[in-house]
Amino acid sequence: MSPTAYILRQPVAAQRPSRWDIHARYAMRQPEESLELPPGTWLLMLPESTDGRSHPPHYRLADGRVVCLDAPLTAGQADPLTDSQALTALTAYRSLEQAVEEDWGLQVEH
């Protein structure tokens, strides 16, 4: 199945889910934060959760951040992103931990 990506036509309010930032000897829980996504922003739709619970739709931005929206994007808010280079760039994102493990076979311990 090919990835589904969009380019925003109008500003959209999004939330960055709360998350844990883990450092050498401590972990900090970062609270949920609101973001205003401007027109032209690229969003890659992430697969739905398989845990059986209802979750808002999640998208990955071009810089790697994950955001969630209250509802799926509509045709009035965004157009499908069809540029093959843009789709390749969006789907090629890897976190630092993923890159180190895949490229060097090392697991980063926090």
Over residues 12-59, the pLDDT tens digits come to: 999 988 877 777 787 888 888 899 999 999 999 988 777 766 678 889
Decide if 90 is inside a domain: yes
Q: Tokens for 79, please give them.
A: 């157009």
Decide if 76 is inside a domain: yes
pLDDT above 70 for 11? yes
What is the pLDDT at residue 29? Answer: 82
The number of domains in the chain is 1
Decide if 109 is inside a domain: no
Domain that holds residue 9: 5-104
What is the pLDDT at residue 59? Answer: 92
